[in-house]
Chain A
Amino acid sequence: MQETRFGEFGGVYAPETLMAPLEELEQAWRELREDPSFEADLHSLLHDYAGRPTPLTRAEQLSAELGCELWLKREDLLHTGAHKLNNALGQCLLAKSMGKARILAETGAGQHGVATATACAKLGLECVVYMGEVDVVRQRPNVLRMELMGARVEVVKNGQRTLKDAINEAMRAWVSDPEAHYVLGSALGPHPFPSIVADFHHVIGRESREQILAQAGGLPDLAVACVGGGSNAIGLFRGFLDDDSVALVGVEAGGEGLETGRHAARFSGGSPGVLHGCFTWLLQNYDGQIEHTHSVSAGLDYPAVGPEHAALQAAGRASYEYATDEEALAAFSALSEREGILPALESSHAVGWIMRECEELRGMRIVVNLSGRGDKDLSTIMATRGGSAVDSVQGSEVMS
């Protein structure tokens, strides 16, 4: 294998059975990324099917209120409602080119599962998605969407029954069926996954850079994105890595607050170690056991961060902050009411951090990746508030 690390982070900590499939994947990726016909096929899928480029929208009212110039990269408008489709289409096309017929995937918030189910339906591949039981409940609409597109959803009842456990189970499934392709959904796992996933999401940053130059007439001061595994953030960051004047900020899930221990802020509350195939920052106890995490958003509820983020942090190129559940919910309301956009709870963390730090950020031009839309989160949101008209109506009586 070629370079498997970002600085000291990353690597290939995988069972021997998976080493051959990982080598094969790396080889195929190195060939196909230079292949004009693969690039043309992917471009066509992203452009004519998925709806790229996504717009960059100036958040007028919120900018005025916060005293900054806030621009939203609208990955919520991508087909299926989140950035995840960039990678799912790319990897499924890659898998198909490698002659694979069967796709395995994990999902937390369900967006990667939906994206993979979508790509598989479009490309004629069999799809099995592993999803934790807790996430199945809180992201119910996404389970139904996956099933409607012909994917089989395997409910994972081990451990914390969230994203981490879904990845464990998907990796076990892959060890059992190394002929399948595992579409890892975030910029983590063993090499070459972090690089492949980042490559497929680079389009977010490339477009954002062009759009902000065209629409605002200059580069932003700040590029901000939420960080679970870190795929949407690395996609945005890659567009600005060489622009030293652009500060990069990743926002992790602060959950109920770092002091409560119920969070997923790896850089603030963790230490380096090995999980799911890579060496990176993670939440672990004194003995190397992985700690439970908490976040109101299923997509950020994960104990490790992608290794490229760990390297960007170590190099001082990006900084990593956090927003709490409460701050994310406040951002959700603000975007809904002032901009007419229901954001995913994951993306709401990025905006929540900006809202909290608005004094410090006054006058700055900020691009924030609105990585997904919030329809999937309605039941979580509604549980935190009341007073909807639907509560007063008995559906069965009206319809009968």
Chain B
Amino acid sequence: MSLNRMEAVTRSLRAEGRRGLSPYVTAGDGGMGRTLQLLHALERAGAHCCELGVPFSDPIADGPVLQAAADRALAAGTDVDGIFSMVRRFREEGGNLPIAMMSYCNPLGRRGWPEACAEAADVGVDALILPDLPVEEGGPVRAAADAVNLCTIFFAAPTSSEERIRRAVEASRGFLYVVGRTGVTGVGTTFDDSAQSFLQRVSELAIDLPVAVGFGISSAADVSAAKTHADIVIVGTALVRHINKAGAEDSAAVAAAESFVRDLMTGLGSPNIS
């Protein structure tokens, strides 16, 4: 099977011993036009890949900031068709940033997994992250995603046994998503000794699969701490908060996102030193 865009990037990060940044934005928050501009801005700022959140009415793994972003996006009329069209346009405009679509099961599953995966791959989505889909339930999604060369990304959490982590590694392509601590999105993660040893344990179990860590990473200093045992650092809530604080003008929101991501990138350090 050919490498997809996400795998190409994450494998080269791993092969070259470099670290990467994966910012998250909620699709349709501030309008789909803004989201399109944001994807370009993330790419310009040097992000290695990104997560594009599909808003859901009942996001049980999200804290207040991402809940509010989903509510705003849904109130603005966001739907999966609109998100797919926007991604297609991003690719048509030359956007080359690998995109992981992050969605609770129901909005995508509603279309039927084969249909959802085929359409996602067709418009230029590279991976799926489904926070309420454990490996146990992942079979149908993996089959549908594999058929169209779309990566599926599963999770490891501090509560996960070694056996569970191994199964998540085996089921994932692109990277393994490591939840840095127990809890919902947006609450700060402290990279203390126990968090670092958990990350180290996961990255050992992941063997060749790149590892991404997220949940509560909000500054260049956090990024710097998080990258010790992770190939990719994910920043979600902090970026969404920055964008939302920048105000109603798309240009201001996009500029705020770009400068924040550039700042976060400094936490990765020199490109040649891991």
Residues of A within 8 A of B (CB): 1, 4, 11-21, 158-159, 164-165, 168, 171-172, 175-178, 273-277, 284, 286-290
Q: A171-B60, A176-B184, A276-B60 in contact; A17/B105 too (CB < 8 A)?
A: no
CB contact under 8 A between A175 and B184, given known A12-B137, A276-B58, A276-B60: yes
Contact yes or no, A16 B160, CB < 8 A: yes
Q: Which residues of B contact A171 (CB under 8 A)?
A: 60
How far apart are A192's CB and chain B's nearest CB, in angstroms? 13
Is A178 a contact partner of B182 (Cβ separation < 8 A)? yes
12 A-B contacts, Cβ less than 8 Å apart? A13-B132, A14-B132, A15-B132, A15-B134, A15-B157, A20-B159, A20-B160, A172-B61, A172-B62, A176-B182, A273-B109, A288-B56
Q: 7 tightest CB-CB pairs across the interface, nearest first?
A: A288-B110, A16-B155, A288-B107, A20-B159, A288-B106, A17-B157, A176-B183
CB distance from B167 to the nearest CB of A (A): 10
The answer on a CB contact under 8 Å between B67 and A158 is yes
Contact A159 B58 (CB under 8 A): yes
Which B residues touch A19, using CB under 8 A?
134, 136, 157, 159-160, 164
Q: Which residues of B contact A175 (CB under 8 A)?
A: 60-61, 182-184
Chain B residues numbered 51-65 whose CB sits less than 8 Å from any CB in chain A: 56-63
Interface flags for B108-136 (1: CB within 8 Å of A; 0: not) read: 11110000000000000000000111101
- The docked-state distance in angstroms from the alpha carbon of A17 to that of B155 is 9
Whole-angstrom CA separation of A373 from B110 in the bound complex:
38
Digit string of B138-170 for contact with A (CB within 8 Å is 1, else 0)? 000000000000000011111111001000100
B179 within 8 A of A: yes
- Complex interface: chain B residues within 8 A of A277 (CB): 132
**Min CB gap B181→A, angstroms:** 9
Contact A289 B155 (CB under 8 A): no
Whether B58 contacts A168 by the Cβ 8 Å rule is: yes
Q: Show the binding face of B for A, using Cβ within 8 Å.
A: 56-63, 67, 74, 79-81, 104-111, 131-134, 136-137, 154-161, 164, 168, 179, 182-184, 187
Q: Is the interface of B mostly helix, strand, loop or mixed?
A: loop
Contact of B79 among A1, A177, A287 (CB under 8 A): A287
> Known interface pairs A13-B132, A17-B159. Does A168 touch B79 (Cβ–Cβ under 8 Å)?
no
A114 to chain B, nearest CB (A): 24
Residue of B nearest to A171 (CB): B60
Residues of A within 8 A of B133 (CB): 13
- The answer to whether B159 and A290 touch across the interface, beta carbons within 8 angstroms, is no
Q: How far is the CB of A100 from chain B (nearest CB, A)?
A: 14
Chain A residues near B182 (CB-CB < 8 A): 17, 175-178
Known: A13-B137, A16-B164, A16-B168. 14 other contacts (CB 8 A): A15-B131, A16-B155, A16-B157, A17-B157, A17-B158, A17-B182, A19-B164, A20-B164, A164-B58, A172-B61, A176-B182, A274-B109, A277-B132, A290-B57
Q: Assess whether A288 is in contact with B179, with CB atoms less than 8 Å apart.
A: no
Q: Specify which of B108, B134, B168, B184 is in contact with A288 (CB 8 Å cutoff).
A: B108
Enumerate chain B residues within 8 angstroms of A286, measured Cβ to Cβ: 79, 110
Distance in Å: Cβ of A126 to nearest Cβ of chain B: 18
Contact A168 B134 (CB under 8 A): no
Residues from chain A with Cβ under 8 Å of B155 in the complex:
15-16
Residue of A nearest to B168 (CB): A16
Given contacts A19-B134, A21-B159, A171-B60, contact A289 B74 (CB under 8 A): yes
Q: Which residue of A lies closest to B159 (CB)?
A: A20
Contact B109 A289 (CB under 8 A): no
Contact yes or no, A14 B107, CB < 8 A: no
Contacts of A17 in B (CB 8 A): 61, 157-159, 179, 182-183
The answer to whether A20 and B132 touch (CB under 8 A), given A159-B57, A288-B107, is no
Instruction: Please tell me if the beta carbons of B110 and A16 are within 8 angstroms of each other in the complex.
Output: no
Interface contact A287-B61, CB-CB below 8 Å:
no
Q: Which residue of B lies closest to A158 (CB)?
A: B67
Q: Contacts of B187 on A, CB cut-off 8 Å?
A: 176
Which of A1, A20, A172, A273 neighbours the largest number of chain B CB atoms within 10 Å of its CB? A172
Q: Compute how far the CA of A4 lies from the CA of B137 in the bound complex, rounded to whole angstroms.
A: 10
Q: Which of B104, B105, B131, B158 is packed against the most chain A CB atoms within 10 Å?
A: B105
Contact A273 B131 (CB under 8 A): no
CA separation between A4 and B74, bound complex, in Å? 32
The reply to whether A11 and B137 form a contact with Cβ atoms under 8 Å apart is: yes
In the complex formed, the residue of B with least CB distance to A20 is B159
Report the nearest A residue to B110, measured CB to CB: A288
CA of A290 to CA of B81, assembled, Å: 17
Closest partner residue, chain A, to B68 (CB atom): A158
- Chain A residues in 8 Å Cβ range of B79: 286-287
Chain A: minimal CB distance from B25 (Å): 19
The distance from the CB of A38 to the nearest CB of chain B, in whole angstroms, is 25
The interface residues of chain B lying within 8 Å CB-to-CB of A21 are 159
Complex Cα distance A60/B16, Å?
A: 82
What CA separation (Å) do A164 and B56 show in the bound complex? 13
Expressed in whole angstroms, the minimum distance between the Cβ of B147 and any Cβ of chain A is 21
CA distance A168 to B60 in the complex (A): 5
Most buried by B among A14, A165, A178, A276: A14
B164: nearest residue on chain A (CB-CB)? Answer: A19
Contact B156–A16 (Cβ < 8 Å)? yes
* Residue numbers in B under 8 Å from A12 (CB-CB): 134, 136-137
Q: Could you tell me if B168 and A13 are in contact, using CB atoms closer than 8 angstroms?
A: no
User: Which of A171, A277, A284, A288 counts the most B-chain CB atoms under 10 A from its CB?
Assistant: A288
Cα–Cα, bound, A104→B53 (Å) = 29
Most buried by B among A4, A14, A15, A172: A15
